Amino acid sequence: MQNILQHFQLGELNSGVSTGNSWLHSNGEKIVSSSPVDGKVIGTVQAADRAAYDAAISSAQKAYPIWKAIPAPRRGEIVRQIGEGLRKNKEALGKLVSYEMGKSLQEGYGEVQEMIDICDFAVGLSRQLHGLTMHSERPGHRMYEQYHPLGIVGIISAFNFPVAVWSWNSMLAWVCGDVCVWKPSEKTPLTAIACQRITAEVFAANDVPEGVSCLVIGNRDAGEWMAADERVPLVSATGSTRMGKSVAAVVAGRLGKSLLELGGNNAIIITENADLDMSLIGAVFGAVGTAGQRCTTTRRLIIHESVYDAFKDKLVSAYKQLRIGDPLDQHNHVGPLIDQDAVKAYLASIEAVKAEGGKFVVEGGVLSGAGYESGCYVKPCIAEVENHYKIVQHETFAPILYLIKYSTLDQAIALQNGVPQGLSSAIMTLNLREAEQFLSNAGSDCGIANVNIGTSGAEIGGAFGGEKETGGGRESGSDAWKAYMRRQTNTINYSTKLPLAQGIKFDF
């Protein structure tokens, strides 16, 4: 790991504020990054104070007119080069993600690959920032609409995907002509600094001014500054529903725009017509991948009564085979939770399940002993519950899987939809009618609805996000790029007269 830290120029004390290749002085508090893998301190970051934050925003303001004047395909070419930089650094960055966050090495590599993929998507997008033309009711007139960049895009990202979600936002924002100020999770600051160094090198090689890519590492106050900052027209925030509600209220109070990707409480419906072996793979990976710390983690299995016992037995058998340990060891399936606070939330949730009457069929607990010195390793567990339990309605960022029995598909869909969140959902069935009902407007109310795949592992080509308390935002693919731009309707009169719309007469 020491070689990787040296590779990204990560010393014992690192500046947490950057406008590109420049790293700014700050008197903010020191943030210590400790790995949940072994509990060791990786490095320390000097967080942003208000003066350093304002300096970064000022740099972004100065860079914006220059950046937006560069033709979009040229901006796309620069993003392509960032993708190449990520390809060259995939192994080192993937290992750093795995070590600082605690996800498996394969997932660390996968997260960097996701960044590379969004770069490729953004390159193509840079030549497709299209508008529309429409016919005018007035003779000799032409109407069309086009999109322009917004300005500064503030990005607040979470620890569980410490770099990928930033790239979803920044790569699209950059090809759209925006500049970005990134406030990463204070729990994973070093991966953010590594990404900043990769992008800054590419921007400098292309004579891009400082300020197009800014990094502001800080605690909650840095996010609050950004949310309230009228210089930041769009704030994209990923995290808990509680955090998102706070950001949304502050941004709306100044009539700014917010793009929210918040909590999930995702379910897989397993029907009597499901391929149970295939369903098992989707359910187990969805429930224990990233130690249950994905917003798309499978938290509930809604299982038809006719296959309930058989599938429960398969789950119990599969959980006995899970290997928990160092995520950099690719033989292990499950790594640690992010920190001790997450462990406390996991234990509290287990007690809440028991208090409400839930029955555990696979018991949980904290692991100790050799290899578990950080105290962040926990056992994935399974409980039989009722959907209305208060704890089941809540998103717990931990590997706790809830089993719920159903008898009719209408009932299953109602259970699936019967939570405050609406991010990801899935149905396992070989019956066409069941699949189509699930995808119809009488089916899943989530932003993502899958058939015969699990709830996690979204591809960048589709718009990512959800409804209800998930926030309603969309990131990554499809037409998510429109969130980073302002729409403008244009009417051109090429006639010799000035007729008014709606046939209004105004003669004098």
User: Is the dihedral angle over the CA atoms 455, 324, 403, 351 positive or is it negative?
Assistant: negative
> What integer is the mean pLDDT of 203-213?
98
**pLDDT tens digits, one per residue of 174-196:** 999 999 999 999 999 999 999 99
**pLDDT tens digits, one per residue of 106-124:** 999 999 999 999 999 999 9
CA distances from 124 to 73, 113, 463 (A): 8, 17, 16
> What integer is the mean pLDDT of 69-93?
98
* Cα 181 from Cα 59, distance rounded (Å): 10
Q: Is residue 457 over pLDDT 90? A: no
Q: What are the start-end ranges of the H helices in 241-369?
A: 241-253, 276-288, 308-320, 340-355
> What integer is the mean pLDDT of 185-214?
98
As separate numbers, helices (DSSP H) first and strands (DSSP E) second, the chain gives 15, 23
**pLDDT tens digits, one per residue of 39-66:** 999 999 999 999 999 999 999 999 999 9
Q: Is residue 458 over pLDDT 90? A: no
Query: Token digits for 123?
Result: 């390159």
Catalytic residue at 210? no
**pLDDT tens digits, one per residue of 334-360:** 999 999 999 999 999 999 999 999 999
Mean pLDDT score of the chain:
97
How would residue 200 be classed by pLDDT, with cut points 50, 70 and 90? very high
pLDDT score, position 102: 98
* Cα 339 from Cα 336, distance rounded (Å): 8
How would residue 507 be classed by pLDDT, with cut points 50, 70 and 90? confident
Q: Is the whole model's pTM more than 0.95, yes or no?
A: yes
List 261, 434, 469, 475, catalytic entry: 261
> What integer is the mean pLDDT of 248-270?
98
Q: Is residue 422 over pLDDT 90? A: yes
pLDDT score, position 14: 94
Residue ranges and CATH numbers for the domains of the chain are 2-262+471-488 (3.40.605.10), 266-459 (3.40.309.10)
pLDDT score, position 8: 96
pLDDT score, position 506: 87
Q: For 74-117, where are the E strands, in sequence order?
A: none
DSSP state of 102: -
Q: Is residue 382 over pLDDT 90? A: yes
> What integer is the mean pLDDT of 229-240?
98
**pLDDT tens digits, one per residue of 145-163:** 999 999 999 999 999 999 9
Residue 326 near residue 40, CB atoms below 8 Å: no
